[in-house]
Amino acid sequence: MQRDNLIFMNRFKEKYLNTAVGQMKEKFGCKNSLAAPKIDKVVLNARIPASKSDEKFQALVAATLARISGQKPIFTKAKKSISSFKIREGQVVGVSVTLRNNRMYDFLDKLINLALPNVRDFRGLNKKSIDGRGNLTIGFKEYLAFPEINPDEVENLHGLEVCIHTTAKSKEEGFILLSLLGFPFVEKVDNNDNS
């Protein structure tokens, strides 16, 4: 029995191709679909403080990133010694994963639809989190919002940073791209709010 080859496309990628590209071509006056801004890569970073630089904690952080991203992380090492931060050259200072193509789209779908709504007291992303090149950076104080993490198995909590790199040329282009893809931005930021 022979099965037909089914082509499965991630719903996030499908939304980009079918909805966002057409709207951005109209808005920015792009003649070609390839000229429209797109998400290039997603980088997950976790810092390893000098006080917790033992191998057990490093393995824990690496295992957490591997579980969240579905890809083996790499360790980043210090290029030079800095005595005031108690960092020596060659010491592991962080763990990083770079996602592209299908894994990137799967992760972004999970981030928008599952992880961000599970963050405690989440009210939306701030537009100020987008830099001048249209890249968005989201910081998590704890990684319990991701569905792969079982809170009962967590020994030590650590922070996590998600950097979404785009091919946008400005902050406004990046904001429009990410808004069309469904990133939940706050409409108006209240300056009186202390949270």
**121: phi > 0 → left, psi -120 to 50 → alpha, else beta; which?**
left
Q: What is the band of 185 on the pLDDT scale with cuts at 50, 70, 90?
A: confident
For the cut 70, the answer to whether the pLDDT of residue 194 exceeds it is no
Instruction: Say what percent of the chain tops pLDDT 70.
Output: 84
CA separation for the pair 12, 154 (Å, rounded): 30
Task: List domains and CATH numbers for the chain.
Answer: 38-180 (3.30.1440.10)
DSSP state of 49: -
Task: Give per-residue pLDDT as tens, 101-145.
Answer: 888 988 888 888 888 888 888 888 888 888 888 899 988 887 777
CA–CA dist 164, 44 (Å, integer): 9
**Per-residue tokens: 188:** 């108006």
Mean pLDDT score of the chain, rounded to an integer? 79
Of the candidates 89, 92, 112, the residue with the CA atom closest to the CA atom of residue 162? 112
Considering the entire predicted model, what is its pTM? 0.78
Query: Cβ(137)–Cβ(162) under 8 Å?
Result: yes
Per-residue pLDDT tens over the stretch 37-64: 888 999 999 888 766 667 788 888 888 8
